[in-house]
Each structure stands twice: as C-alpha cells, then as structure tokens.
Amino acid sequence: MSAAPQDPPPELRVCALLREAVGWDRLVVVVARDVDTRAALRGSDPVLEGYCDLQQTLLQGPSLDAFTWGAPVLVDDLHARLPWPLLSSATPPDLPVRSVAVLPLLVPAGAPTDRPGATDGPGPPGAPGPALGVLTAGRDRVDPFTQAQVSVLTHLAAVVSALLVHRAATGELVAVDVAPNDDLAVAAGMLAEHLGTTAGEAKSRMRAHAFTSGRTLNGLARAVLDGEVAVGDVAHPR
C-alpha cells in the first residue's frame, strides 16, 4: 500500500471506511510499548490525542485499562462520574468529546470478544495477552456505542493491528508515522542529565510537575523544549 507522505497512514485510511457505518466524530490510534513509551499515529484526532495524554499523565483512564486488560472499555459520557477519580477531576469542562469506545490493539489480531466490554471499568482477569496500543473512537454528544458497533470496532481494531505489525516489521511505521514526536523522551533526557538520575525518575518528576501545573506530560515536555518552562523549574519546583 503506497501513499503520498501527506496522506493519512493506511491504518487511519482503513478506519475512515467505517466511520459512517459506526458513527464517530474523532478517532485516535495510539501505538504503545508501555504507558510512557507510546505515540499517536500521525493524522489522529488532536483532541482525543490530548485526552490520551491526560490519561498518561494521571496514569488512569479508559485507554490505560483497555491497553492493560486487553478488553474494550466504553464510556457513555466523559463528563459524568467516572471510575477514575483523578481523571474525572482533571477532565477539562470544555472537552467536546462525550462518548468513547476504546479498543485494545492485540497481537495476534484477536477474534471479536464475547464480552464487548460494556462497562466503564477494567475488564476481568485472563484477558488476551500483550497489546500494541489502543484505538479510541469518540462522539461529541452523549450517544453510547452499541454492542453491534463495538463488535465492528473490534474487527476494525484487528485489521489495524495487522497493518501495524506488518509496517513495524519494515521500519516504516516508526520512521514515518509515529516518529516526529519524541518531545517527552528528549525532555526526560534533559531532566535526567540535570538531576543526574534516570529517565524513569525524570518522568516521575515531570508527571508531578505536570499535574500541579495543569498540563499534560507531553504538554510539559513541549513547554520545556520551547523554553517556556526551565528544566531547573521542573527539577526543583518552587
């Protein structure tokens, strides 16, 4: 599958084919190794990507649960009371997204699960194994995803997973479609050097700073690289 560089990646082009049938306003595909080693595919919706960043910052939310448990997670209304208290309190009141369906991207591309995850919390233990990311579809109105729609999304996630692993093997995926944003890693490296510590410890400091300053982890990283926030201020908050 060849495409001009400005075209969306093939995964998002496949998703677009089902947009009308399922009905979503926004979609993001995140490839992840762990909670802090992750990247959204180029062309993903920036608002949903920001909501994923917020979950990464707070270490809780539907995306993290879907990734960890390997099961779909549905949220009927992001502005309602949620089982993730920090996320609930930190969700911006003007976030336009209301209903979301988060599907794990599993390897091997799994068959549709018999438990469509119609819960607002983590799935039961024994869920399928390692995930390589999540696919999140969002609607800008309170309109919960139905079981049939989740079933279609589950198939779509399987196709997206297959495409991702195929393109990862050629190196194209990381080189072209998830590479541009390494802000968090760079800022963590700077802070690690400043503090004489590890990148993991640096990310913990950044997470704390981001939480207290009302930013996301990636937002703070960008601010550091743009010179808006000094590395020293993150290292030694006043």
Partner 1 sequence: MDVEDRGTRASSRVQDRGRPSSADGGAADGLEGLARDLADLARALQSAASPQEVLDRAVTTAVALVPGAEAAGISLVRARRTVTSAAATSPSARRLDELQTELGEGPCLDAVFTHRSTRVDELARETRRWPALAARAGEVGLPSMLCLQLFVDGDNLGALNLLGGEPAAFDDTSEQVGLLVATHAAVAVADARQLAHTHLGLAHRDVIGQAKGILMERHRLSADQAFALLSTLSQDLNRKLHEVAADLAATGELPQRPQPRPRSEHRSEHREHRPQDREQR
Contacts to partner 1 by CB under 8 A: 31-33, 36-39, 107-108, 128-130, 132, 164-166, 168-169, 171, 173-174, 178-179, 182-194, 196, 199, 225, 231
CB of 103 to partner 1, least distance (A): 17
Nearer to partner 1, 22 or 191 (CB): 191
CB of 231 to partner 1, least distance (A): 6
Cis amide prior to 130 (ω within 30 degrees): no
Nearer to partner 1, 5 or 129 (CB): 129
CB atoms within 10 A of CB 92: 12
Nearer to partner 1, 22 or 39 (CB): 39
Question: Which residues, in sequence order, are CB contacts of 18 under 8 Å at separation 6+?
Answer: 152, 153, 156
CB of 128 to partner 1, least distance (A): 6
Nearer to partner 1, 152 or 176 (CB): 176
Cα–Cα distances (Å) from 16 to 99, 128, 148, 182, in that order, read 18, 26, 18, 26
CB of 183 to partner 1, least distance (A): 8
Nearer to partner 1, 141 or 166 (CB): 166
Nearer to partner 1, 208 or 230 (CB): 230
Alpha-carbon dihedral sign for residues 91, 94, 95, 98: positive
Question: Using an 8 Å Cβ cutoff, are 229 and 216 in contact?
Answer: no
CB of 200 to partner 1, least distance (A): 10
Sheet bearing 38-40, strands edge to edge = 38-40, 26-32, 131-139, 99-106, 73-75
Q: Kindly report the CA angle at 158 between 157 and 160, in degrees rounded to 5?
A: 60
Question: Using an 8 Å Cβ cutoff, are 73 and 131 in contact?
Answer: no
CB of 73 to partner 1, least distance (A): 19
